[in-house]
Amino acid sequence: LNVRMPRSLMFCYRFLSEHLKFLGDDYGERHACHATAEKTQTMLRAGSIKGIFDAGLHEFLANFIRDNTKLGEEIAQDYRFN
């Protein structure tokens, strides 16, 4: 979970959260997608490779995919992309 690696989940979520903050500042409001992105980013920050494998890689990936899908749906709804 290296924040400096461009293909890492942490790297992507750091920039995704940053851009959602820009949108929130531009529109003057926060939406559900902001909280979801922050929750996922916090989970990634707290995680470690050892912790992920100890808890189960399959479970980690299934939960991440679920949360990532939720975030995409919230962004689409909150910023009217659908």
Burial class (CB in 10 A: 0-12, 13-18, 19+), 40: buried
pTM for the model stands at 0.85
Residue 61 in 3-state DSSP?
helix
| Nearest in space to 37 (alpha carbons), one of 79, 54, 82 | 79
Tens digits of residue pLDDT in 11-32 = 899 999 999 999 999 999 999 9
Tens digits of residue pLDDT in 43-79 = 998 888 899 999 999 999 999 999 999 999 999 999 9
Q: Please report the beta strands in the chain, taking only residues with DSSP state E, as ranges in sequence order.
A: none
C-alpha span between 20 and 49 (Å, rounded): 27
Angle between helices 9-27 and 32-46 (to 10 degrees): 150
* Token pair belonging to 6: 């461009």
Q: Reply yes or no on whether the pLDDT at 1 is more than 80.
A: no
* Token pair belonging to 4: 């400096």
pLDDT at 19 (0 to 100) = 96
Residue 3's pLDDT band, with cuts at 50, 70 and 90, is low
pLDDT at 75 (0 to 100) = 97
